[in-house]
Structure 1
Amino acid sequence: MTALFQELAQLWRLRALLRVLTRREVHARYQGSAAGVAWAYVQPLLTVAAYYLVFDIVFGMRLGDKAPTGRVGTYLIVGSLPWMAFCDAVGRGTSSLLDAGGLLQKNALPPALFPLRTVAASAVVYGPLLLLLVLAYAPLHHFALAVVAVLPLLLLMLLMAVLLAWLLAIMAAALRDVVQVVGFGLAIGIFLSPVLFPITLFPAAWRWVLWCNPMTPVVLGLQSLLLQGAWPPAAVWVALLAWIAVLAGALSLLVARSREQLVDWL
Structure 2
Amino acid sequence: MPSALRAECGQLWRLRGLLAVLARRELAARFAGSAGGLLWAWLPPLLTVAAYYLVFDVVFGMRLGGAAPAARVGTFLIVGMLAWMAFADAVQRGLGSLLEAGGMLQKNPLPPGLFPARTVLASGAVFAPLMLALVPLYAGAHQFRPGVWAVLPLLALQGVLSFLAAYLLAILAAALRDVAQVAGVLLSLGVFLSPVLFPVGLFPERWRWLLWLNPMTGPVLGYQAALLEGAWPPAAVWLSIAAWLALLAALLSLALARSRDQLVDWL
TM-score (norm 2): 0.98
- Cα displacement (A) at 1:67: 0.8
Distance 1:62 1:143 in 2: 23
- Matched letter for residue 112 of structure 1: G
Amino acid at match of 1:19: A
SS where residue 164 of structure 2 aligns? helix
1:110 partner amino acid = P
Deviations 1:12-52 (A, max 9, x none): 11111101101100000111111011001111000000000
2:142 matched to which residue of 1? 141
Residue 173 of structure 1: CA displacement? Answer: 0.4
Is the CA contact (8 Å cut-off) linking 2:116 and 2:166 kept in structure 1? yes
Rounded Cα–Cα distance in structure 2 between residues aligned with 1:214 and 1:86: 10
Give the TM-score normalised by structure 1: 0.99
Q: Aligned equivalents of 2:159 and 2:35: distance in 1?
A: 30
Q: Which residue of 2 aligns with 1:25?
A: 26
1:221 counterpart residue number: 222
| Alpha-carbon distance, 1:135 to partner | 2.1
SS in 1 for 2:233: coil
**What is the CA-CA distance between 1:138 and the residue it aligns to?**
1.4
SS at match of 1:27: helix
Give distance in 2, aligned partners of 1:140 and 1:59: 21
- The aligned counterpart of 1:259 is 260
The Cα offsets for residues 175-212 of structure 1, whole Å up to 9 and x where unpaired, read as: 00010011100100110000000111111010111110
Aligned to 1:66: 67
CA–CA distance in structure 2, aligned partners of residues 10 and 220 of structure 1: 33
Q: What's the counterpart of residue 164 of structure 2?
A: 163
1:128 deviates by 1.1
Matches within 5 A, 1:101-250: 101-250=102-251
- Backbone CA RMSD of aligned residues: 0.7
Q: Percent identity?
A: 65
CA–CA separation in structure 1 for the residues paired with 2:131 and 2:249: 25
Structure 2: runs of 5 or more not aligned: none
Separation in structure 1 between the aligned mates of residue 139 and residue 103 of structure 2, nearest angstrom: 46
Runs of 4+ with >2 A deviation? none
Q: How does 1:31-46 map to 2 (within 5 A)?
A: 31-46=32-47
- Alpha-carbon distance between aligned partners in 1 of 2:142 and 2:203, rounded to the nearest angstrom: 27
How far does the alpha carbon of each residue in 1:75-119 deviate from its partner, in whole angstroms, 9 at most, with x for none?
000101011111000000010001111111111111110000000
